[in-house]
Structure 1
């Protein structure tokens, strides 16, 4: 997941960094400002870096400030683009008409983003009362179901198995159960003996899951166990299981303080979408739009 977010962030930063030279990313006159990086003739100052971080969507700002890896990704991207752009200029690519048109398109994109940020989004406010009202009216959205955290051991039986196959599987699972009853570690036994390819290498770990996610027989047995308990043999369409519940979470509604920031972000996004919708209607009336498909 983190790798995916790095890729998305890199794409987002790419648009910003391509304009390093033409938009004066780094202020060379800021002699007293800390220099974060140099790439040939170009300099990236701490102030310039902060300005660019602040120009990104809030989600990416938060990621960069919380994790040094994301900040370093931004700096690395700046270095790469700076070096490549200097080499491109050395080869006179900046004089190519097609490339100049692409640069103008990027300038238009950045101008549009800056306009929306400074003149539309900056005016949007979400009050504590709005947040509180939303929470009160949408509590169902913040309910967390009862969940159990479990491991299991599976002796698999084919869907085309004959009675003798089921008998052999039952004999094997009973032997495994004896080992567990004798004190062997559940995770170690699962890793050695389970036939579930999705959890075997993790010691049979399934993580937390709510009702409705597993087959009925498995679910009934798992939710009947207390934390630390191990089930008897459980028969399902997949074969025979032994389940160990490691933890439980009772159903609850998240407290207001837990979700306050999440609600604020939701309301902010809703207001932003509505503001953009109205803005486009106004601009269409002001400038006119003709589309010939």
Structure 2
């Protein structure tokens, strides 16, 4: 068993090396690895990589990344072979899960092909029409403490301690007017005097300041894409529901 496994690893290393040398040459028939009577071709290997989300796919741009991914494929083949030997594919529960996965894959593929066909012009048009939506207000990164009495606030100010150990960004319009006026007049690193706003007393420190500005298209492109995709999906779903009779047995669902 050990020798067999070592042989598989040896083939893996050689095949990965061939993969690096292949370059632009047509490699559909190149065998990257053999696992018993099964083969993993370079074409299938590349296809599997292309199906991985971009964020994770970038980790496979190196030799080590490809080798690790191939190792996982080999392990899957080994476990799959044993699962089939034990007829696990005939198990009702397993078959139900496979069918569920199949339905999810097909539904997602429909969404991907039919609903996410959003052109660059659409994204740009949305941005131009909704620029106010992407206007970044003036903001401060604020650290503050709240007190019930003025005496407590003054004692804390004298000691130079702020209870809140972390800071958060606050835009204009998010704070009570009296507190906001003082906070936005502070310089970076400056600590306020005791501020009375409503029934509470505050001490605030500004750690950073951010000027108001219009966000550029490139900054919000992905956000716009997500918005339009969600809108298209909702519209399509509404149409499908309208054209399909859907009956739900609420009483049975409650049991």
Unaligned runs of 5+ in 2: 1-26, 250-255
SS in 2 for 1:149: strand
Match of 2:101 in 1: 106
Q: Displacement of 1:275 after TM fit?
A: 4.1
- Distance in 1 (alpha carbons) for counterparts of 2:195 and 2:46: 62
Unaligned runs of 5+ in 1: 1-28, 54-60, 177-192
Q: Label 1:213 to 1:92 Cα distance change in 2 as closer, same or farther (>3 A).
A: same
1:145-186 Cα shifts (integer Å, max 9, x gaps): 11012334x4x64x4x6xxxx53652452243xxxxxxxxxx
Q: Displacement of 1:87 after TM fit?
A: 4.6
TM (norm. structure 1) is 0.54
Q: CA RMSD in A?
A: 4.3
- Distance in 1 (alpha carbons) for counterparts of 2:200 and 2:40: 62
Match of 2:252 in 1: none
Q: For 1:1-293, what aligned pairs fall within 5 Å after superposition?
A: 32=30, 46-53=45-52, 61-65=53-57, 85-118=80-113, 120-121=114-115, 124-128=117-121, 130-152=122-144, 154=145, 157=147, 159=148, 166-167=150-151, 170-176=154-160, 193-194=161-162, 196=163, 199-200=164-165, 205-235=166-196, 237-239=199-201, 241=203, 243-278=204-239, 284=244, 289=245, 291=247, 293=249
Q: Displacement of 1:223 after TM fit?
A: 0.8
Match of 1:180 in 2: none
- Indicate conservation of the 8 Å contact 1:230/1:245, yes or no: yes
TM (norm. structure 2) is 0.60
